[in-house]
Structure 1
Amino acid sequence: MTAAPLPPAQADGDGRRFAGHPMGLAYLAFTEAWERFSFYGMSALLLLYMIQHLLTPAAAGEVLGLASFRSALEAMTGPLSTQAFASQLFSLYSGLVYFTPIFGGLLADRLLGQRRTVVLGALLMTAGHALMVVETAFLIALSLLILGTGCLKGNISVQVGHLYPPGDEGRRTRAFAIFSAAINAGALLGPLLCGLLAQRFGWHVGFGAAGVLMLAALAVYLAGWKHLPADRKRPPGMHGRMPLTARDGRTIAALLLLSMIAILPCAAYYQEMNAGLLFIEASVDRRLFGWTVPTASFNALDGLFCILAVPLLIALWRRQAKRGREPGEMGRIATGYLIIAAANLMMTIPAGRADNGATVGAIWPILLYALNALGFTFYWPTLLALFSRAAPAQLNATMTGILFLSIFLGNLLVGTLAGSWEAMSHAGFFALHAMLAFAAFAIMLLVAGPLKRLLAPPPPDAFATKPQARRQTSARPLRRWA
Structure 2
Amino acid sequence: MLPKDPVIDALTVPDRNEILGHPRGLWVLVLTEGWVAFSLYGLQSILVLYLADHLLQPGHIENVWGMGVVKAALSVLYAPVGIQATAGAITGLFLALIYATPLLGGFVADRLLGKTRTILLGAILMTLGHILMSFDWSFVLAFVLLLLGIGAAGGLRAQVGALYALDDRRRSDAYQIYSLGVQAAVIVSPALCGMLAMKAWHWGFLTAGLGMLIGLIVYLFGRRWLPEDTIFKASSPRPRLTLREKKTGILLLVLLPVLALGALPNDEIFDGYLLWGREHYQLTFFGHLFPVSSLVSFDGFISTLMTISVLWFWRVYAKRRVEPVEITKVAIGTFIASLGPAVLALASWLYPEPHQISLLWGLAFHIINDIGFSMSYAIGMAMYSRAAPVSLNTIFVACFSLHLFMANLTIGKLSTLIGHIGDVPFWLLHSGASLVAGFILLFCSIFFRSLLAPENLPSGRDDPSHIL
Q: TM-score range by the shorter chain?
A: 0.7 to 0.9
Structure 1: how far apart are the matches of 2:453 and 2:170?
Answer: 16
Q: Is 188-197 or 244-253 further displaced after alignment?
A: 244-253
CA contact (8 A) 1:102 1:399 kept: no
Deviation at 1:432, TM superposition (A): 1.2
CA contact (8 A) 2:335 2:434 kept: yes
Q: Does 1:181 align with 2:156?
A: no
What is the aligned counterpart of 2:314 among 317, 326, 334?
317
| Structure 2 counterpart of 1:472 | none
**Shift in CA distance, 30/70, structure 1 to aligned 2, threshold 3 Å:** same
Q: Is 392-401 or 97-106 further displaced after alignment?
A: 392-401
Q: Does 1:157 align with 2:157?
A: yes
Deviation at 1:224, TM superposition (A): 4.9
| Structure 2 counterpart of 1:204 | 202
**Shift in CA distance, 380/204, structure 1 to aligned 2, threshold 3 Å:** same
CA contact (8 A) 1:184 1:302 kept: no
Structure 2: how far apart are the matches of 1:25 and 1:176?
Answer: 9
**Shift in CA distance, 194/291, structure 1 to aligned 2, threshold 3 Å:** same
What is the aligned counterpart of 2:216 among 212, 215, 218?
218
The within-5 A match list for 1:440-479 is 440-448=437-445, 453-454=450-451
Structure 1: how far apart are the matches of 2:19 and 2:447?
Answer: 37
| Structure 2 counterpart of 1:192 | 191
Aligned to 2:418, the other structure's residue is in SS state: coil
Deviation at 1:79, TM superposition (A): 5.7
Structure 1: how far apart are the matches of 2:455 and 2:80?
Answer: 54
What is the aligned counterpart of 1:269 among 257, 266, 281?
266
**Shift in CA distance, 260/394, structure 1 to aligned 2, threshold 3 Å:** same
Q: Does 1:399 align with 2:396?
A: yes
| Structure 2 counterpart of 1:338 | 335
Per-residue deviation, residues 186-215 of structure 1 (Å, max 9, x unmatched): 221111110111113x11011011011112
Structure 2: how far apart are the matches of 1:456 and 1:224?
Answer: 40
Which amino acid in the other structure matches residue 285 of structure 2? L
CA contact (8 A) 2:116 2:229 kept: yes
| Structure 2 counterpart of 1:8 | none
Which amino acid in the other structure matches residue 416 of structure 1? K
| Structure 2 counterpart of 1:123 | 124
Consecutive unaligned residues of structure 2, counting only runs of 5 or more, are: 1-13, 458-468
| Structure 2 counterpart of 1:241 | 236
Per-residue deviation, residues 394-416 of structure 1 (Å, max 9, x unmatched): 65554343222211111110011
Deviation at 1:454, TM superposition (A): 3.5
| Structure 2 counterpart of 1:466 | none
Q: Does 1:422 align with 2:402?
A: no
Structure 2: how far apart are the matches of 1:134 and 1:373?
Answer: 35
Aligned to 1:57, the other structure's residue is in SS state: coil
**Shift in CA distance, 35/289, structure 1 to aligned 2, threshold 3 Å:** same
> Identical aligned pairs, as a percentage?
33
Which amino acid in the other structure matches residue 51 of structure 1? A
CA contact (8 A) 1:163 1:229 kept: yes
Aligned to 1:246, the other structure's residue is in SS state: coil
Q: Does 1:288 align with 2:285?
A: yes
Structure with bigger RCO (C-alpha 8 Å, 6+ apart): 1
Structure 2: how far apart are the matches of 1:406 and 1:80?
Answer: 26
Which amino acid in the other structure matches residue 352 of structure 1? W
The within-5 A match list for 1:67-146 is 67-74=68-75, 77-78=78-79, 80-146=81-147
Q: Is 322-331 or 348-357 further displaced after alignment?
A: 322-331
Aligned to 1:355, the other structure's residue is in SS state: coil
Structure 1: how far apart are the matches of 2:389 and 2:163?
Answer: 16
> TM-score, with normalisation over the residues of structure 2?
0.83
CA contact (8 A) 2:130 2:209 kept: yes
**Shift in CA distance, 378/219, structure 1 to aligned 2, threshold 3 Å:** farther
CA contact (8 A) 2:241 2:389 kept: no
CA contact (8 A) 2:307 2:370 kept: no
Per-residue deviation, residues 79-118 of structure 1 (Å, max 9, x unmatched): 6200111110111111111111221222233333434333
Deviation at 1:333, TM superposition (A): 2.2
Q: Is 382-391 or 208-217 further displaced after alignment?
A: 382-391
Structure 1: how far apart are the matches of 2:385 and 2:82?
Answer: 42
CA contact (8 A) 1:355 1:427 kept: no
| Structure 2 counterpart of 1:468 | none
CA contact (8 A) 2:265 2:340 kept: no
The within-5 A match list for 1:427-438 is 427-438=424-435
Structure 2: how far apart are the matches of 1:54 and 1:197?
Answer: 17
Per-residue deviation, residues 116-155 of structure 1 (Å, max 9, x unmatched): 33332222211211211222110110111111111223x3
**Shift in CA distance, 13/450, structure 1 to aligned 2, threshold 3 Å:** farther
> TM-score, with normalisation over the residues of structure 1?
0.81
**Shift in CA distance, 221/293, structure 1 to aligned 2, threshold 3 Å:** same
Q: Is 339-348 or 326-335 further displaced after alignment?
A: 326-335
Structure 2: how far apart are the matches of 1:371 and 1:386?
Answer: 22
Consecutive unaligned residues of structure 1, counting only runs of 5 or more, are: 1-11, 461-482
Structure 2: how far apart are the matches of 1:217 and 1:114?
Answer: 16
Q: Does 1:47 align with 2:48?
A: yes
**Shift in CA distance, 357/226, structure 1 to aligned 2, threshold 3 Å:** closer
Deviation at 1:251, TM superposition (A): 4.9
Structure 2: how far apart are the matches of 1:164 and 1:327?
Answer: 30
Deviation at 1:347, TM superposition (A): 1.5
Structure 2: how far apart are the matches of 1:26 and 1:262?
Answer: 33
